[in-house]
Amino acid sequence: MSRIAKMGVAVPSGVDVQIKDDQITVKGGGGELKLAPSALVKISADGGKLSFVPVDESREAGAMSGTMRQLVNNMVVGVSKGFEKKLTLVGVGFRAQAQGARLNLQVGYSHPVNIDMPAGVTVATPTPTEIIVKGANRQVVGQIAAEIRGVRPPEPYKGKGIRYADERIVIKETKKK
């Protein structure tokens, strides 16, 4: 059995978890998230704590029990606290502007790049060179942040581009004659 699955998930107050055969639903202040459970894992709720037990002793069931525990834990944390990714723009003239559910980027191309946010994800730009992506679904927040970074990834010689706030870019030395 997975060491992660042995920990279980504590459900905080204000979060409602419903377990059915075909769907796990987590509701809270941050919204509502749904997940299809695996047939290899038995999920049970008792007294504000969720436990995950593999159905059999197979390797796949043990691994899936840890995976399901972490997915459900991410859902619980997402609807209670939420997830956020911070990005920074490095470069002369690079700037971002949030316009409702759309992010407008000017990052050195001849045209502005517009990225639409999916439902449940908000974007904010406290300064023109900072982007904050927030949402309840960890996977969607990370995917949108990766798509924004993919518009102009940091280049290795000057470090210009869009990077995560905690990302360190190793600058290469230029070719010498």
**Which residues is 121 bridged to in the sheet?**
135
Are the C-beta atoms of 102 and 117 separated by less than 8 Å? Answer: yes
Are the C-beta atoms of 52 and 6 separated by less than 8 Å? Answer: no
Percent of the chain beyond pLDDT 90? 85
146-158: average pLDDT: 95
State yes or no: pLDDT of 1 exceeds 80.
Answer: no
Q: List, in order of start, the domains of the chain with CATH numbers.
A: 3-80 (3.90.930.12), 83-164 (3.90.930.12)
Which of 47-56, 79-88, 107-116, 132-141 is predicted least confidently?
47-56
Confidence of residue 52 (pLDDT cuts 50, 70, 90): very high
Percent of the chain beyond pLDDT 70? 99
pLDDT of residue 147: 96
pLDDT tens column, 66-115: 999 999 999 999 999 999 999 999 999 999 999 989 999 999 999 999 99
Q: At what angle do helices 138-151 and 59-80 cross, to 10 degrees?
A: 80
Confidence of residue 152 (pLDDT cuts 50, 70, 90): very high
Q: State the DSSP code for 169.
A: P
State yes or no: pLDDT of 34 exceeds 70.
Answer: yes
Confidence of residue 3 (pLDDT cuts 50, 70, 90): confident
Q: Which residues contact 143 (CB under 8 A, 6 or more apart)?
A: none
Rounded to whole angstroms, how far apart are CA atoms 156 and 35? 39
